Structure 1
Amino acid sequence: MEFQPHPNTEEVSVSCAVITVSDTRSPDTDKSGQLIKELLLADHHTVEFYQIIKDEPGEIQAQMTALSQDTRINAVIFNGGTGIAPRDTTYDALEKLLEKTLPGFGELFRFLSYQEIGSRAMASRAVAGVYQNKIIFSLPGSSNAVRLGMEKLILPELVHLVKQIS
């Protein structure tokens, strides 16, 4: 059974920031960050800010705090650092800042991932929520995970979620 997202009667463009959390990627090798930008643009949204930052909790929180002050941005999409390896700290850094969480995002992401990769999906700590009137999403760094999260969860609901917090 195919469910439809909330219908949008008007075309609304959401202004987004894309942050890749990685100790090794560069703009040339950041396939997941580039994919997020491409999918947002194809869906008529804008990318106001893009950056690659180290997987350091302080850097992640500082970036989120800075973006929260940018009035152009309505949504921030992180990728990378959501696993359980010692250097995976995105979830830990963001969950301390989120004022409201959307548990369903992580639950649905893991369910959809399970259908693709099996029980390994349980190691993902994908998370979403609200911080300073901005919707925040955090996806794993793999391009397959990014495509799944963007196409099945984020893009269908992005406009609706932004309207909810406005």
Structure 2
Amino acid sequence: MSKPKKSFIPLGIAILTVSNKRKGADDTTGFYLSNACTEAGHRVVHHEVLPHNKYQIRERVSALIVNAEVSVIVLNGGTGFASDNQTIPGIRPLLDSEITGFGELFRQLSFVDIGPASMQSQALAGLANRTLICALPGSGGAAKLAWEHLLRPQLDARQGPCNFVPHLLNERCDDGASSCKN
């Protein structure tokens, strides 16, 4: 007996750009991520630019992880070693579990493009309240690399042998309905 074919499940995604320089109109990396998510069939339910302030980042991410429309939060910017980068300290305390392989794979892929400078990326992913939270560097190239090689495949329920989608949906959502978080 063959397994039933899996279906694509559109997820609600929030895009947060962390920058003291970018404003809404020139958020090129945020717009790239929004467009890429939409083109992949997902819904962008929130898109915002935040300053490098770990408490503002934490407050916004906290609000989004309890929002039933949001299954994934993608932050871009503030993940390097500059003194004002606050993304990682802002989100790490919120995580129920960290997905260490995400940062490891991102740095490995990034090494091919930028060499040893890739070790300075603190790219991070984890789960909080059945919400996937991913923190990427703010450069467009880094966001594209993470989206194409890591996020897009793992946000597709058809991806095998496993993907993140079952971790983001409530057990009651066996029909693939969106927004089924606890």
| TM interval, short-chain normalised | over 0.9
Deviation at residue 162 of structure 1 after TM alignment? 2.6
Alpha-carbon displacement from aligned partner over 1:117-139 (angstroms, at most 9, x marks no partner): 00000000000000111011010
**Higher gyration radius (CA):** 2
* Alignment-derived partner of residue 164 in structure 1: 167
Query: Is the contact between residue 91 and residue 125 of structure 1 (CA under 8 Å) also seen in structure 2?
Result: yes
> How far apart are 1:9 and its partner, in Å?
2.0
| 1:145 has 2:142 as partner | yes
Letter in 1 for 2:119: M
The answer to whether the aligner puts 1:82 opposite 2:79 as a matched pair is yes
Aligned Cα root-mean-square deviation (Å): 1.0
1:72 aligns with 2:69: yes
Number of the residue aligned with 1:105: 102
Paired with 1:80 and 1:89, the residues of 2 have a C-alpha distance of 9
C-alpha distance in 2 between matches for 1:109 and 1:126: 7
**Whole-Å separation in 2 of the counterparts to 1:66 and 1:164:** 19
Between Structure 1 and Structure 2, which shows a larger proportion of helix residues?
1
Gaps of 5+ in 1: 1-7
With the length of structure 2 as denominator, give the TM-score of the two structures: 0.85
- Answering whether residue 157 of structure 2 is matched by residue 154 of structure 1, we say no
| Higher mean C-alpha deviation, range 99-108 or range 22-31 | 22-31
Q: TM-score, normalised by structure 1?
A: 0.93
Runs of 4+ in 1 over 6 A off after TM superposition: none
- Counterpart-to-counterpart distance in 1, 2:14 and 2:39: 15
For 2:129 and 2:80, the matched residues in 1 are separated by 25
2:113 corresponds to: 116
Displacement of 1:165 after TM fit? 3.8
- Please state whether the residue corresponding to 1:73 is helix, strand or coil: coil
Structure 2: distance between partners of 1:131 and 1:11: 23
How many residue pairs are counted as aligned between the two chains?
Answer: 159
* Shift in Å, 1:38: 0.7
Match of 1:33 in 2: 30
Report SS of the residue matched to 1:148.
helix
The one-character-per-residue Cα deviations of 1:141-164 (angstroms, maximum 9, x if unpaired) are: 000000000000001001331312
| AA aligned opposite 1:118 | G
C-alpha contact 2:14 2:74 (8 A) present in aligned 1: yes
SS at match of 2:9: coil
1:57 aligns with 2:54: yes
SS of 1:78's equivalent? Answer: strand
Unaligned runs of 5+ in 2: 157-162, 170-182
CA–CA separation in structure 2 for the residues paired with 1:60 and 1:18: 12
For 2:13, the equivalent position in structure 1 comes to: 16
Name the % identity: 31
